[in-house]
Structure 1
């Protein structure tokens, strides 16, 4: 039944996509982030829904006459450079066939991220995209939160199998990243039932993240809470709310959860933590030896035998930073860090210039919440192999489009004051 439902939704939406390609971008984001086909048990689990949507979206872009240009900003140019560098490192991969498979997957994500930047061009489209992201991940947050309540926190929450967020640590990070987006939607919703539904969803997402038993997610939550508090207009009220809610959520979890979180302090005796340190050492040594890195597939016995401090202890990167370093060298890591830094600066620019203008305060609020989400990703991602997770790239794309809109809106009054003709702003 679920397979049929997903198929009907996707194919039923294709005429909607042909009428306007931005609808295809939104449909693609829903499929790539939520992976609804994984919730079935039959033919839909292996059907290429994303490919169908991408092809129809491209066709729609060709037959519609609206201008389609990628915004030319520092962020978009660095993102293009990062994509080009990942293509340049491919021929130098240590395991070409395995790397090619992952490269194809990553390139689809990057391509559609650029397509979203080209198609999402208005405040309305941005809000719709934020809603799609919130619903896509909120589904798992509500589901996981209810599961945690029913089990008393005794069983771990997992994401959809075979996806970027299938692992318990990954789904936890994704859920805490979506909470700030829900905060934005709640702040700008005029319907009481929507605000109540979003508030309940945020609470369940937080509970599901705790129920995933992820130590990295706990650190990310702490970092996000600090940023949220700093950006809050009423810091005293926010502090009281956090001081009340946090102990209640933690007290709900069983002793096993507390024991696992407590192991953060004793990482020297934790096998998992030592394995990560070994993988990080391998990535560092590999990058020093190979300018282009080792490619998308380096977590194999021969690589660890050459570069790891402990050749017998094989682990995935478990860090977005060391993942980029090992797979694409120091240049790849530098471009990745630069992308995050410029995105943060764009968000700060939007907040600074949009907040004083009543019509643009939505942009300032959104940028502040995206900063909060990216903070969680930067901290939690330090312990997870999620360098190619698509959500952060969509958030970066939203910042690019939002800054363009704010710049144009601020330029209109300035141009009128200077007596410039309206057509100069087109």
Structure 2
């Protein structure tokens, strides 16, 4: 029954997808984040809804007579560069060929989505649609998990959708952290709308879901988001009251086990799981030292024989305290060390460059539109994207998420926002020039 209902709903959405390219690309992203197969159990489970939306998006874009004005920036150039480098590292990878190329294929699909977002998303309505996608996918999943967490009295184990990069509780928590600021932006946009209660409930339940994952990285990301809002908001009293309400609700649900786990953040060097991370970081660094330009290739260090080949050189980083490596291979548990081991120092340099450039791009947008009334939505949007980037950059230091679709979609939207900002400013300048010209003509005839 659920499968039939979803197929009918999807058919309804497809009708809208054919109407506008920004709707189809938004639904493409939604299918990637919501993971329909996770919710379906019968015949619809095997249907690739995202592939259908990819095809529709390409068709609609190609035949769209009112395409958005093209435009690119330095951030887009860096994204192209990192994709080219990742392709090169895949070709020369030392891991299992089938595994590495499969990861490259997944990343290539994400890059295709990134490309179409940058080509299509330009207007305020476009950004609103695609931001709503985050809430109607990850936000809804967070709300559902938050409700389960409350109903279970704090015992429900929260994680993301199965067979997905966000299935891990830590990864899911970070993704929710990144969506929270986008939810706040939509709350401000729909201040007098009937959907505002839905957005508010989703926001609160998603915060509880982050806490319910018992993810220390997710908790650190949540603290980053909270501190940013507390420092930058003009409504500090209201913000503090909101924090206290959520904290009070959480204190009634969180168990002693949760508090004990969070306490280990202060004593990281005594925590076994953290020291395993340090061990992994050293192993991924060793791989980069051996292959500084290319690294090992997508997730190759996680392969047993590659991992074991690094053990004899472990002593080279003995000045950093950690347990001795065993023959069991581990993930990097860090966006930075994962990229370092997989793609060398060049890959890490490109990733850091993308993060820094994205942040500077947002700062530049805020500076340019700060005093322009009609572009205040761009200012607020850039502000929220900064928070999402900070959450990813800080919490991601302990999580293996450099290839997450949500991150690259965010980068693509930032590129689109920058292009939209430059085009809007050019239009305003053109209008002002025409207005001054008209005034001069009037003075001549006065």
**Could you tell me the TM-score, scaled by structure 1's length?**
0.93
Q: Quote the Cα distance in structure 1 between the aligned partners of 2:75 and 2:265.
A: 35
1:350 is aligned, of 361, 365, 370, to 365
Which range moves more in the overlay, 69-78 or 122-131? 69-78
2:60 is the counterpart of 1:60: yes
How far the C-alpha of 1:404 sits from its partner, in A, is: 2.1
Corresponding residue of 2:298: 296
Corresponding residue of 1:107: 108
Secondary structure of 2:156's match? coil
How far the C-alpha of 1:240 sits from its partner, in A, is: 4.8
How far the C-alpha of 1:269 sits from its partner, in A, is: 3.6
2:395 is the counterpart of 1:372: no
User: Does the Cα contact within 8 Å between 2:220 and 2:395 map onto a contact in 1?
Assistant: yes
Q: Quote the Cα distance in structure 2 between the aligned partners of 1:25 and 1:165.
A: 21
1:373-392 paired onto structure 2 within 5 Å: 373-392=388-407
Corresponding residue of 2:443: none
2:40 is the counterpart of 1:40: yes
User: Does the Cα contact within 8 Å between 1:71 and 1:400 map onto a contact in 2?
Assistant: no
User: Does the Cα contact within 8 Å between 1:70 and 1:114 map onto a contact in 2?
Assistant: no
User: Does the Cα contact within 8 Å between 2:210 and 2:222 map onto a contact in 1?
Assistant: no
1:174-253 paired onto structure 2 within 5 Å: 174-243=175-244, 245-246=246-247, 248-253=249-254
Corresponding residue of 1:2: 2
Corresponding residue of 2:80: 80
Q: Quote the Cα distance in structure 2 between the aligned partners of 1:44 and 1:283.
A: 40
How far the C-alpha of 1:338 sits from its partner, in A, is: 0.8
Unaligned runs of 5+ in 2: 315-324, 438-446
1:305 is aligned, of 305, 308, 314, to 308
Corresponding residue of 1:23: 23
User: Does the Cα contact within 8 Å between 1:275 and 1:314 map onto a contact in 2?
Assistant: no
Secondary structure of 2:336's match? helix
Which range moves more in the overlay, 100-109 or 344-353? 344-353
How far the C-alpha of 1:223 sits from its partner, in A, is: 1.3
Q: Quote the Cα distance in structure 2 between the aligned partners of 1:245 and 1:64.
A: 46
* Alignment CA distance shift 1:41-1:334 (3 Å): same
Corresponding residue of 2:89: 89
* Alignment CA distance shift 1:12-1:272 (3 Å): same
1:259-408 paired onto structure 2 within 5 Å: 259-290=260-291, 291-298=293-300, 299-308=302-311, 309=314, 310-408=325-423
Q: CA RMSD in A?
A: 2.1
Q: Quote the Cα distance in structure 2 between the aligned partners of 1:156 and 1:49.
A: 28
* Alignment CA distance shift 1:134-1:349 (3 Å): same
Secondary structure of 1:54's match? helix
* Alignment CA distance shift 1:197-1:61 (3 Å): closer
Secondary structure of 1:166's match? coil
Secondary structure of 1:154's match? coil
How far the C-alpha of 1:420 sits from its partner, in A, is: 9.3
User: Does the Cα contact within 8 Å between 2:117 and 2:416 map onto a contact in 1?
Assistant: no
How far the C-alpha of 1:303 sits from its partner, in A, is: 1.6
Secondary structure of 2:184's match? helix
Corresponding residue of 1:164: 165
User: Does the Cα contact within 8 Å between 2:23 and 2:129 map onto a contact in 1?
Assistant: no
How far the C-alpha of 1:187 sits from its partner, in A, is: 0.6
Q: Quote the Cα distance in structure 2 between the aligned partners of 1:416 and 1:52.
A: 42
How far the C-alpha of 1:205 sits from its partner, in A, is: 0.4
Q: Quote the Cα distance in structure 2 between the aligned partners of 1:36 and 1:396.
A: 24
Corresponding residue of 1:256: 257
Corresponding residue of 1:14: 14
Which range moves more in the overlay, 230-239 or 275-284? 230-239
Which range moves more in the overlay, 202-211 or 56-65? 56-65
Q: Quote the Cα distance in structure 2 between the aligned partners of 1:206 and 1:233.
A: 22
Q: Quote the Cα distance in structure 2 between the aligned partners of 1:68 and 1:350.
A: 19
User: Does the Cα contact within 8 Å between 2:113 and 2:409 map onto a contact in 1?
Assistant: no
How far the C-alpha of 1:264 sits from its partner, in A, is: 2.0
State the Cα deviation string for residues 117-151 of structure 1 (Å, max 9, x = none). 11112111111100111111111111011111111
Which range moves more in the overlay, 140-149 or 231-240? 231-240
**Could you tell me the TM-score, scaled by structure 2's length?**
0.89
User: Does the Cα contact within 8 Å between 1:3 and 1:37 map onto a contact in 2?
Assistant: no
* Alignment CA distance shift 1:69-1:114 (3 Å): farther
* Alignment CA distance shift 1:295-1:421 (3 Å): farther
How far the C-alpha of 1:243 sits from its partner, in A, is: 4.7
State the Cα deviation string for residues 302-359 of structure 1 (Å, max 9, x = none). 1221224414342111111111111111111111111111111111122222231111
Corresponding residue of 2:318: none
Aligned length: 422
Unaligned runs of 5+ in 1: none
Q: Quote the Cα distance in structure 2 between the aligned partners of 1:414 and 1:60.
A: 32
How far the C-alpha of 1:221 sits from its partner, in A, is: 1.0
